[in-house]
Amino acid sequence: MKEGFVLKWRGEEEDSLRIAYNTIRDQCFSEKTFWFGWNETSLVLPRPFDVRALNPDWDVVRIFSPHAELRAQWRGPKKVVLLLTEDGNLSNALQQMQRFKLVQKFFAEPGHRVLVGTLPKTPVPGVSPSALIEIAFPTALDYGIPANSGQMLVAEVQLYFDNAHRLHLTRYCTIRAENIGEREVRPYVQPTDTI
């Protein structure tokens, strides 16, 4: 089992997320970087990184790669910027920069999240050809990542547990297309479990 490190950005600048991202971009986000974010009026689903992620208007934003996740969200009157990683060397290097402080360690286990939607059988006018469709909503779910018919999008994650094996945080690592049925889906709670 790996260790998961949670570090807090020490700066309280108005644009802390952008400054933190630019400070660690080469160490953490040089390849396969994704993001998602939301506020009261907008929602951007997980997708390849673009500069909209650094907009300070997001209430919650997460920028992630296989190496780390940088997240910003409001906690009371302040926006807190955290970095999550399982790389002990990266954690130590960032702490030595004096801009990040280790705030907590967890046990990290790999996991997956299946993203909602399927590729429509026929193109939908006005919708990106790579957008998935979810009939229940009904809405186009544009993740900006292509998936073929018969595929689903899967997010690889690291689950951060405490000593009592209670889930505290989920760190997103990457997103990719997989064939439907390739992955066994198991619920956290089995029908025979008692609570």
3-state secondary structure string, the chain? Answer: CEEEEEEEECCCCCCHHHHHHHHHHHHHCCCCCEEEEECCCCEEEEEECCHHHHCCCCCEEEEECCCCEEEEEEECCEEEEEEEECCHHHHHHHHHCCCEEEEEEEEEEEEEEECCCECCCCCCCCCCCCCEEECCCCEEECCCCCCCCCEEEEEEEEEEECCCCCEEEEEEEEEEEEECCCCCCCCCCCCCCCC
Q: Dihedral angle at the C-alpha atoms of 4, 23, 62, 103, nearest 10 degrees? A: 40
Which pLDDT belongs to residue 77? 84
Starting at the earlier edge strand, list the strands of the sheet with 2-9: 43-48, 34-38, 60-64, 69-75, 78-85, 2-9, 100-114, 151-161, 167-179
* pLDDT tens across the length of the chain (195 residues): 799 999 999 987 788 999 999 999 999 998 899 999 999 999 999 999 999 999 999 999 999 999 999 999 988 888 999 999 999 999 999 999 989 999 999 999 999 988 876 666 666 666 777 666 665 555 677 888 888 888 888 999 999 999 999 999 999 999 998 888 777 766 656 666 565
Q: Kindly list the domain boundaries of the chain, sorted by start residue.
A: 2-108, 112-179
At the topology level, CATH places domain 2-108 in Double Stranded RNA Binding Domain (3.30.160)
d(CA 184, CA 172): 19
pLDDT, residue 88, reads 96
Q: How many CA atoms lie within 13 A of 137 on its CB side?
A: 10
User: Residue 187: its pLDDT value, please?
Assistant: 61
What is the rounded CA–CA span in Å between residue 3 and residue 21?
23
pLDDT, residue 141, reads: 75
pLDDT at 118: 64
- Identity at 159, one-letter amino acid code: L
Q: Is the Cβ–Cβ distance between 142 and 122 less than 8 Å?
A: no
Per-residue pLDDT, 31: 84
- Identify the pLDDT of residue 180: 81
